[in-house]
Amino acid sequence: MGLQDLLLNGGSSLSKHDGATPPTNPLTLKTSKLHGTAAGEPGYSLDGADKAEVSRAYNSYNDGAINPLPQPSGLDLNGKTPKGYTNPETGQTFP
């Protein structure tokens, strides 16, 4: 009897789906608004947009682990290109 057979028939406390293929995480689909929309609008991970929809999808996926929804990065520049970049360690500025 192979490992998959053991999991499918006996289960395991270390596997949520006991050897079966888990469902697809809805946040990995193209329709997910986690990272952005098809129209090029920012998504939740950038500025917190569509939080309720992303939170519902996040909570609907059960992989057996408790993972809190990460906070958005807060790096949205409202579509503006930064004027330059500064190295936080050296203070050197790049155009």
95 lies in some domain: no
Q: What is the pTM of this model?
A: 0.57
Q: How many domains does the chain have?
A: 1
Question: Cα separations (Å) of 40 from 11, 32, 33?
Answer: 43, 13, 11
5 lies in some domain: no
Strand-pair partners of 86? 93
Question: Please, what is the Cα angle at 70 between 52 and 47, to 5 degrees?
Answer: 60
pLDDT in tens, the chain (95 residues): 688 788 778 887 777 877 778 888 888 888 888 888 778 777 888 778 888 998 888 888 887 777 788 888 766 666 666 677 788 888 888 87
88 lies in some domain: no
pLDDT at position 3: 81
pLDDT at position 78: 66
34 lies in some domain: yes
43 lies in some domain: yes
**Structural domain of residue 33, as residue ranges?**
24-63
94 lies in some domain: no
pLDDT at position 81: 66
